[in-house]
Structure 1
Amino acid sequence: TSASKNWSPMWRLFWRHQLAICCAVRIGLIAYSYAHDALFEVKYTDIDYLVFNNASRHMLQGRSPYLESEYRYTPLIALVTLGNFLLHSGFGKFVFAAADVACGCLLAGLTSWPAAAAWLWNPIVLGVSSRGSAEPLILLCVHAKLYPVIYCPAICLHVWRTSASASQAVSRLIRLAICAALSFGAPLALFYHLYGNEFMSQAYLYHFGRLDPQHNFSVYFLPMRLLGPRILRAVSGLAFGLQAGSVLLFSWAVPHQDACWFFVTFGFVSLNKVITSQYFLWYLVFLPLLLYRLVPSSGRWLLCQLAIAWLLPQTVWLGLAYLLEFRRLPIVELVWLASLFVLLSNAWIAWRLFDAYRRRMQGDSEAKKRD
């Protein structure tokens, strides 16, 4: 049952006002992006937005969006940003911001307005969506990325644990598999028919073998920058193995799906070969679900500690990356140390959140026994 059905009239009115303010802030940031881009060296608009524009221009002229060499997405994104040429240059930004707000509305319906605020008012979320990143839209569309496959172990375990018998579990899994195949496979078949192997290679397969030596939040960027191809393959294999282990561990250890999907995604992103700010949205969208479960038993001071532990390393990394990229200072090793700081901080955050989750579950179990 949707949690929002139990809201009082006062909370419903408060929610509408807050939602209107959230939308206004996003519109304001999109408007600000034009002034910022005209005045400052470091642009506000995401470079990917320019890539989307180029891909859409090719599509508008009846050509493949993959003539834009940097376009690594489903053609769906290029279709959405056709409005940049047909209506307004900021059309795509407004669509992505609307998807961001839609995620917040879904979270508010599943939890509460205060929990959903962890998404709607998160500065990273505000920045990513208003800069023209397609990530908020991708969160609503399974077809857009392959990474949702990481939820398969958790889903299968959940179905098995909650089924009355093995035959019922198998039946439920078959139905889920059919639904998943249709939702993912139908657009895949359409775009494969239109663009063939080029679509498969650029939108999906490219990311399996991606080795990016450019500085990013991942600790793997420096080894990829310094080591030869053979060692790179070993590093890539190590990253994949650690990610798979993390996914399986959290899928087994966290039986509640609202919490499990956060932990699975947080571990997967933290151990990825390439990490940019957009990837943070993959797990932040599940954070309100976890907080809604934990807040009654977890102190606000703990949540403040975790927020600081998450933001501080990123701030350090961004400052050093700016000095490296725009001031050309020879500090690539310091940027790598900042990436290591981000990873260690994320590991600490995961441990503290999991410990809080475990304690909450133990408390609930003891309360049921007393009743």
Structure 2
Amino acid sequence: MSPYGRHTYRYTPFLASLLSFSHHRWAFPDMMLSSSRYFGRVLFCLADVFCGYIVVRLRRHQRRLRRGGGENDEVRTAPSFSSPDLIHALWWMYNPLPINICTRGSAESLVVLLPVLASVAFALGGCDIDDDAERTTTTTTTTTMTTTGKEEDEDGKSSSYPILARACLSGIFHGIGMHAKIYPVIYTVSFMAYFSRQGERTMMPTRTTKATTTTTFPWRHPTRIARLAIAWVRRLFFTPCSIAFLLVSMGTAGTLTYLAVRNYGREALDEGLLYHLRRVDHRHNYSMYWYWIYLARGRAESTSSAAPVWSRLAGLVPLVPQVLILGFSSLGIAPYDLTFALFCQTFAFVAFNKVITAQYFVWYLCLLPLCSSRVIWHTRRMHVSLAVLIFTIVTWLLSAFTLEMLGWRSHRMVWMASLLFFVANVNLLLSIMDGYVGPSSRRWGVDDRAAKKKKVKAS
């Protein structure tokens, strides 16, 4: 039976097959059949918890890298409730929005967030080995430089293979995410740029690698970003790691989509993937475009004819700023800080999208703890931006309540609230980028510029 017999089903058919597992008597005895209807929600909640585990693991991995790769400054003690890693992970674990999304039966944490976080984890190397094994390896293995510039250990094995393996593993999970819901495709260039830089760093001599890692983050210099973007475009498709990631991710997504179409027909492609490209929905939509969609749909129903060409082309206009932002962050930020680039891309993608529902917010909330330690939050501008965002959300909810619950003709009021919500999101994104201190920051909440001033005074 095809799951697309239900008109509102817009997911991959493999999700329906997984959830139907609870209806098999050999899997659930008769005494458990009465509670098997909660199988899906329990599965989504477990996926949500596992997302939090990946967040904590990646936070610890990033802290080890900032402190020199796990030397004596990394104290192996029981996690404290005041640990920045735990505090930032609580932004996701105890956030009421993700909890509400998974407990109400939404599969976002399973079909989207897990593949995204897993691909990030393998890209950053946060799921390689445990801490003890890593500490033993780093203390007993020495590296030498070959004539070709590759790093090799004492056994002569090239260290570029782990990076290539991480690229392939990350590509597998990235392909699963693209098949489950098409929006993770916006991360492809960012992952390729990141793996391209990581692959080139292993091929460089030691002095070049050190110079690259100590370079300040250049996003505040547009001309330098333009030069870097041109350079990354030239070498993006000539690095083995980036090519491997692209081929594996596209191959995984293509294989899963082919199997879905073969078993469930063309509906698996139209409803599971392509629908999200052409989706226009004015109900429960936070987007500033919802009123235009509402008027366009009403005009189309009244004329009983197909939409004109100019109307269909106008629907592509919202994609223009998204493409510009994705290109800027993919080539100007991702090679230096992958998680911050993914967060900015997702935040901007949601803010500029034609359709915004509550579950879209969890797309970037799961990435926020991975880069929050490199953003200064305790500033006047940041506090004002967050307050304005909260105010616009409350305004939108009150306006929508008068429209849907009270039956008032408050369409324009809801539209104005959507415009304010869009402006607040853009302002918050600019505040976050302005408070960003770069991937080389050693301590949470400390600006690199302030640290440099202290060094100058001390000298």
**Same fold judged by TM-score > 0.5?**
yes
2:5 corresponds to which letter in structure 1?
A: L
Match of 1:140 among 110, 114, 126: 114
Q: Which residue in 2 is equivalent to 1:32?
A: none
Deviation for aligned residue 1:325: 1.4
Residue equivalent to 1:124: 97
How big is the shift at 1:226?
A: 1.4
Verify the 8 A CA contact 1:83 1:89 in the aligned structure 2: no
Q: Pairwise CA RMSD of aligned residues? A: 2.7
Partner of 2:12: 74
Q: Which residue of 2 aligns with 1:161?
A: 197
Q: CA 1:271–1:84 in 2, change beyond 3 Å: closer, same or farther?
A: farther
| Contact 1:135–1:278 (Cα < 8 Å) also in 2 | yes
Measured after TM superposition, the shift of residue 161 of structure 1 is 3.3
1:247 to 326, 347, 354: 326
Partner of 2:387: 308
Per the TM alignment, residue 221 of structure 1 is displaced from its structure 2 partner at its CA by 1.0
Is the Cα–Cα contact under 8 Å of residues 251 and 260 in structure 1 kept in the other structure?
yes
Between the aligned partners of 1:191 and 1:310, the Cα distance in structure 2 is: 40
- Per-residue deviation, 1:90: 1.9
Q: Whole-Å Cα distance in 2 between the matches of residues 90 and 102 of structure 1?
A: 18
- C-alpha distance in 1 between matches for 2:424 and 2:385: 9
Give runs of aligned pairs for residues 213-362 of structure 1, distance below 5 A: 213-227=282-296, 229-230=307-308, 231-254=310-333, 255-294=336-375, 297-299=376-378, 305-358=384-437
1:243 shift after superposition: 1.3
1:3-82 residue pairs with structure 2 within 5 A?
63-82=1-20
CA offset digits 1:16-36 (Å, max 9, x no partner): xxxxxxxxxxxxxxxxxxxxx
Task: Supply the AA of the counterpart residue of 1:67.
Answer: G
Once residues 167 and 289 of structure 1 are traced to their aligned partners in structure 2, the CA distance between those partners, rounded to angstroms, is 25
Match of 1:170 among 222, 233, 239: 239
User: 2:86 matched to which residue of 1?
Assistant: 113
Does the CA-based 8 Å contact 2:385-2:424 persist in structure 1? Answer: no
The residue type equivalent to 1:105 in the other structure is Y
Which whole-Å CA distance do the structure 2 matches of 1:220 and 1:167 have between them? Answer: 35
- CA distance in 2 between partners of 1:201 and 1:257 (Å): 31
Task: State the one-letter code of the partner of 1:330.
Answer: R
CA distance in 1 between counterparts of 2:4 and 2:285 reads: 24
Letter of the aligned partner of 1:66 in structure 2? Y
Gaps of 5+ in 2: 25-32, 60-84, 116-176, 204-234, 300-306, 442-446
Does the aligned pair in 2 maintain the 1:83–1:92 contact within 8 Å?
Answer: no
Q: CA deviation at 1:167?
A: 9.7
Matches of 2:237 and 2:416, distance apart in 1? 50
Query: C-alpha offsets along residues 208-263 of structure 1, whole Å, 9 cap, x if unaligned?
Result: 22222335101111111113533542331111112111211222332310111000
Query: Does the C-alpha gap of structure 1 residues 170 and 146 become closer, same or farther in structure 2, counting only changes over 3 Å?
Result: same
Q: How far apart are the structure 2 equivalents of 1:232 and 1:274?
A: 17
Counterpart residue number, 1:45: none
Name the CA distance, whole Å, in 2 between partners of 1:357 and 1:100. 27
The 10-residue stretch of structure 1 (162-171 or 225-234) with the greater mean CA deviation from structure 2: 162-171
Q: Distance in 1 between matches of 2:395 and 2:389?
A: 11
Larger Rg: 2
Q: Confirm or deny: 8 A CA contact 1:71 1:202 kept in the other structure.
A: yes
Question: Which of the pair has the greater relative contact order for Cα pairs under 8 Å at 6+ separation?
Answer: 2
Determine the structure 2 residue equivalent to 1:206. 275
Q: Identical aligned pairs, as a percentage?
A: 31
Q: How many angstroms apart in 2 are the aligned matches of 1:316 and 1:89?
A: 37
Greater share of helix residues, 1 or 2?
1
- C-alpha distance in structure 2 between counterparts of 1:244 and 1:115, whole Å: 30
8 Å CA contact 2:402–2:408 kept in 1: the answer is yes
What runs of 5+ residues in structure 1 fail to find an aligned partner? 1-62
Q: Name 1:40's counterpart in structure 2.
A: none
**TM-score, with structure 2 as normaliser:** 0.61
User: Conserved in 1, the CA contact under 8 Å of 2:193 and 2:236?
Assistant: no
Kindly state the Cα deviation for residue 307 of structure 1 after the two structures are TM-superposed. Answer: 4.1
Residue identity in the other structure for 1:103: C
Q: Does the 8 A contact of 1:150 with 1:247 survive in 2?
A: yes
The residue number in structure 2 matching 1:189 is: 258
Query: How many angstroms apart in 2 are the aligned matches of 1:242 and 1:236?
Result: 13
Worse overlay, 221-230 or 122-131:
221-230
How many residues align? The count is: 307
